[in-house]
Structures are given as C-alpha cells and as structure tokens.
Amino acid sequence: MGKRQPASKAELEIARIVWDLGNATVRQVFEQVDPARELDFKTVQTYLRRLEAKGYLNTQQDGRSKVYSPKVRPRQVIRETVDDFLQRLFDGATLPLVQHLISERDISANEIQELREMLDRWEQDHGNPQDK
C-alpha cells in the first residue's frame, strides 16, 4: 500500500470516535462528538467519507446506512503522524523533539520516573550504547 494522505486534526478526532466504537454509522459518530465542537451531521459525514477515501476507514452497507470501521490501528496512525512531524520539523531526528518536550513542558516527577524506567528497559533490550 502506498503512503496514506495525512488526516487533518478534525478528521483524526472523528477517527478516534470510530476506533473507540469499533463500528459506527454517521449518526452514532455524530452523537459522540463533543457538542462544544458545534459540528453538524453533514460535516461529520464529510469527515467520515474523507477518512474512507484516505484509507483510514472501511465501510459496509447495512440497509440504508453505511457502517464505518477502522482500516488501520490507532498505533499505526500515531507512528505515521509522528514520523511525518519529526521529518518536517526536525529532519527526522528524535532527540531535538525530546529535548523540546522536556524543556518546554511541565513534566512531573512521576513522568520523569516513567522516562527513566523506559530508558532502562530500552537499554536492557538493546544493550547499553556506551558498551558499544
């Protein structure tokens, strides 16, 4: 499969609803949209059609209704989106993003501990880079 066209922020919001529901009609998705967003039924329908056209969703006809279901897993979309973001902003380098997040965001002591644990697990799985 070729590279999928990126989904917009609004499209990803709708895709997340379908991922949560598993299978959903336009009406079911529309009913899950935050009312503060003030999206109308036709707009939700348009986003679902775009997501189908871009390869994020499958559809099946059920009577008069289309039922949408995920074609790709959220983890895959996250990976593709982050990879695209890294490429556009940091020439594909990971460290500048991590440095930015650490210096520009309020990171709690618990989050720092989680990061340390993740790095420790990574080193156990991949070996300590200083040993090479």
Domain containing residue 71:
1-92
Q: Does some domain include residue 132?
A: no
Same domain, 75 and 28: yes
Same domain, 79 and 38: yes
Global pTM reads 0.76
- Read off the pLDDT of residues 33-88 as tens digits, 9 standing for 90 and up: 999 999 999 999 999 999 999 999 999 999 999 999 999 999 999 998 899 899 99
Residue 91: helix, strand or coil by DSSP?
coil
Q: Does some domain include residue 63?
A: yes
